[in-house]
Amino acid sequence: MLKLEDISVHYGSTVAVDHVSLSVEEGELVTLIGANGAGKSSTLRAISGLEPLKGGSITFEGWPIERARPQDIIERGIAHCPEGRRVFPALTVRENLEMGAYRRLDRQRARADLDGLLDRFPRLRERLAQPAGTLSGGEQQMLAIARALMARPRLLMFDEPSLGLAPNFVEQVFALVDEIRAEGTTVLMVEQNAYAALELCDRSYLLETGRVVCEGAAQDMLANPEIRRAYLGG
């Protein structure tokens, strides 16, 4: 479904992503793990068209997208839940959710989707008219996820969805990611918490300083002694 071949992202003289190749098949939950600064967010941003490639190619459902504009990539069916749950703080919860569907032409179905999402996130329904900035961190993350779902993506990318959340929200977020995949949406998730990521996903790629140093089925990665030592606390 998604294929990155030999992609690189540079920021001036900083090499953030260094010849990375990876793929995601339809229906999979794939994670990208690795320490802070490994190039995980830059990889997602490159897929979304937010960072230009220094080299390499990206195809989604067979279409080359490495030169497409971000809004066209969304239209093709990729949604991106960015790091730091960026909701629009001054806009209401409702307005934030409507922003998620602004590229959609099927307005009636979008309204039905909104209703369905509000059934799923009753706390958002209660707070529809409230500015998003007044929500708690966990509620803002739920809003960011609900907003991404409003685009009805076929591939949903999450960038550290649990970062900075209280433990009960962390569990909720991972349960939600699992549910979204079970409903048929393909997921590519970036996560610094390697253990939580490997418990949840089918396959994973480990990034170190912009390179893929290990990849495989989640259970094999969990059993790998080097990964256990470096990322899973022995």
Please report, as ranges, the residues that interact with ligand ADP according to CB under 6 A. Answer: 11, 14, 16, 34, 36-42
Which positions from 69 through 98 interact with Mg ion, judged by CB under 5 A?
83
10 or 94: CB nearest Mg ion: 10
37 or 55: CB nearest ligand ADP: 37
Q: Which of 179, 202, 55 is nearest to 121 (CA)?
A: 179
33 or 143: CB nearest ligand ADP: 33
41 or 162: CB nearest Mg ion: 41
Q: Which amino acid is at 176?
A: L
Residue from the set 41, 43, 96, 162 that interacts with Mg ion by CB under 5 A: 41
Our finding on whether 42 is near Mg ion (CB under 5 A) is no
User: Residue 224 is encoded by which pair of tokens?
Assistant: 């790998």
Residue 168's binding partner among ligand ADP, Mg ion, none (Cβ under 5 to 8 angstroms by kind) is none
Shortest spacing between CB 205 and ligand ADP, in angstroms: 12
Shortest spacing between CB 6 and ligand ADP, in angstroms: 17
Shortest spacing between CB 210 and ligand ADP, in angstroms: 7
- Residue number of the CB atom closest to Mg ion: 41
Shortest spacing between CB 40 and Mg ion, in angstroms: 5
Shortest spacing between CB 69 and ligand ADP, in angstroms: 19
Residue 39's binding partner among Mg ion, ligand ADP, none (Cβ under 5 to 8 angstroms by kind) is ligand ADP
3-class secondary structure per residue, the chain: CEEEEEEEEEECCEEEEEEEEEEECCCCEEEEECCCCCCHHHHHHHHCCCCCCCEEEEEECCEECCCCCHHHHHHHCEEEECCCCCCCCCCEHHHHHHHHCCCCCCHHHHHHHHHHHHHHCHHHHHCCCCEHHHCCHHHHHHHHHHHHHCCCCCEEEEECCCCCCCHHHHHHHHHHHHHHHHCCCEEEEEECCHHHHHHHCCEEEEEECCEEEEEEEHHHHHHCHHHHHHHCCC
Residues in contact with Mg ion by the rule CB under 5 A: 41, 83
